[in-house]
Amino acid sequence: MKEYNTLDDCNVENKTVLLRVDFNLPLDKKTFEILDTTRIKLVLPTIKELIEKNAKIVILAHQGRQGSWDFISMEKHAQALQDLIGTKVTFIDDIYGEKAKHAIQQINNKEIIFLDNVRKFSGETEKKSAQDHAKSDLVQHLYPLVDIFVNDAFAAAHRAQCSLIGFTAVLPSYAGRLMEKELSTLEKVVKNPEKPCLFLFGGAKFSDVIVTIDRVLAQNTADKVLLTGLPANAFLKAQGINLGEKNESALLEEGKPEQFNDINAVLKRFSEDIYLPEDFAIAEHETRKEITLEDLPTEHNLFDIGEKTIEKFIKILSTANTVFLSGPCGVFENSLFQKGTKKIFEFVAQSEAFTIVGGGHTVAAVEQLNLREKISHISSGGGSLEKFMMGEKLVVVEALKESKKKQVIKYS
Ligand code: 3PG
Ligand code: MG
């Protein structure tokens, strides 16, 4: 028995369902076109099920943050959903005003309306309890018009925001199919991973992963951690290796100097369990050239891991029964530097190990390498996934549990 309700616990026939999803997508900076629809695809089972069961569907989602360049309306998302699901999706350029309320009242069974970017409501991102968020204009205007709340926004499950938790205080609330799948799959990996369990971190950020590495090793979720990309560079620098000016300034652009002390503390605790690259690829005269640790410092950027590291990491990965991939091994968008990511990801995908992939860039790399079918679990989460893997509670999940415990029913 789950601590939260799922779609198995409710009858949605003829009901108006408010469905919160996370369609916060990567956009093209110039055209604002959507670059990747993975997060939409992952929610399709929930939406299809609601249609099949004769529900009326009202979708609520966010894109970007107030003030950020990618803070746009949900019109393109509604269109993308319509294209993927093959059913009409009506975009409403309103969140809880008369236009939105009228549209919700007019909706028929099996129809979908998509409300505007919920972060246009400035109370959305205030940090409050579910009870306090329930007093907001957003919740007070919308909840009388709907029967149940379904939350399928796993990728935003770490945010205590109004539309994510407020409705759980006043409406019977359920986890959608994606939320349910993410939680049950990831729970197994966090609590009881099939050992050995290896984590590979890469990508272009290191400041957030230091504490993640420390926690997953301390909790014994991970037995070994392999590092590539910026996390690897940061750990090498912390060990006193001079990477060259370009690489070191790239590190300081992303993180803070004091974080190298944090890394040293992690290295001290887990020196046996953390593996770092021994060679790298740089661009010289527009070709790929490999250099070793002894060649450092270099005036060039380290764009990929080298052959020796690929070989060594594959050998270590071949012992794993569970692998968690977070971040590409190099600048895989450039074909010269795709090798590390390609070889490592292909190896893991074809292996027998249970493989989890998370984070936008990692999922994009999997898509580009055509490995989607061979990955055991592609997570929609970025920040929420990281928090979950660290053993932290997710506020949205806690709100769903609370709603079940209190057996929240609708008063209107
Ligand atoms: C995400 O994309 O990580 C989630 O949608 C949360 O977005 P946020 O980091 O802007 O809160
Ligand atoms: Mg250990």
Q: Which ligand is nearest to the CA of 217?
A: 2
Q: Can you give the pLDDT at residue 359?
A: 85
Residue 386 in contact with ligand 1 by CB distance below 6 A: no
Q: Cα–Cα distance between 163 and 62 in angstroms, integer?
A: 10
Kindly give the distance from the C-alpha atom of residue 224 to the centroid of ligand 2, in angstroms, as a whole number. 7
Per the CB < 8 A criterion, the answer to whether 403 and 175 are in contact is no
Q: Cα–Cα distance between 20 and 10 in angstroms, integer?
A: 17
Residue closest by Cα to atom 7 of ligand 1? 156
Q: Can you give the pLDDT at residue 412?
A: 59
Mutate to test the pocket of ligand 1, among 62, 151, 363 (most ligand atoms within 8 A of CB): 62
Kindly give the distance from the C-alpha atom of residue 140 to the centroid of ligand 2, in angstroms, as a whole number. 49
Kindly give the distance from the C-alpha atom of residue 214 to the centroid of ligand 1, in angstroms, as a whole number. 23
Q: Can you give the pLDDT at residue 364?
A: 87
Kindly give the distance from the C-alpha atom of residue 154 to the centroid of ligand 1, in angstroms, as a whole number. 10
Residue closest by Cα to atom 6 of ligand 1? 156
CA distances from 28 to 70, 78, 295 (A): 9, 17, 37
Residue 406 in contact with ligand 1 by CB distance below 6 A: no
Q: Which ligand is nearest to the CA of 61?
A: 1
Q: Cα–Cα distance between 14 and 48 in angstroms, integer?
A: 15
Q: Can you give the pLDDT at residue 360?
A: 81
Q: Return the DSSP state at 295.
A: G
Beta pairing partners, 56: 16
Q: Which is the closest atom of ligand 1 to the Cα of 161? A: 11
Residue 24 in contact with ligand 1 by CB distance below 6 A: yes
Q: Which is the closest atom of ligand 1 to the Cα of 159? A: 11
Kindly give the distance from the C-alpha atom of residue 272 to the centroid of ligand 2, in angstroms, as a whole number. 9
Per the CB < 8 A criterion, the answer to whether 166 and 138 are in contact is yes
Residue 65 in contact with ligand 1 by CB distance below 6 A: yes
Q: Can you give the pLDDT at residue 1?
A: 84
- Residue ranges in 143-289 assigned as alpha helix (H): 162-165, 177-191, 209-218, 229-238, 245-254, 259-270
Q: Which is the closest atom of ligand 1 to the Cα of 62? A: 5
Per the CB < 8 A criterion, the answer to whether 154 and 384 are in contact is yes
DSSP run (H or E) holding 345 = helix 339-350
Strand, helix or coil for residue 396: helix
- pLDDT one digit per residue (tens) for the chain, 412 residues: 899 999 999 999 999 999 999 999 989 999 999 988 999 999 999 999 999 999 999 999 999 999 999 999 999 999 999 999 999 999 999 999 999 999 999 999 999 999 999 999 999 999 999 999 999 999 999 999 999 999 999 999 999 999 999 999 999 999 999 999 999 999 988 989 999 999 999 999 999 899 999 999 999 999 999 999 999 999 999 999 999 999 999 999 999 999 999 999 999 999 999 999 999 999 999 999 999 999 999 999 999 999 999 999 999 999 999 999 999 999 998 999 999 999 999 999 999 999 999 988 899 899 999 999 999 999 999 889 989 999 999 999 999 999 999 998 887 5
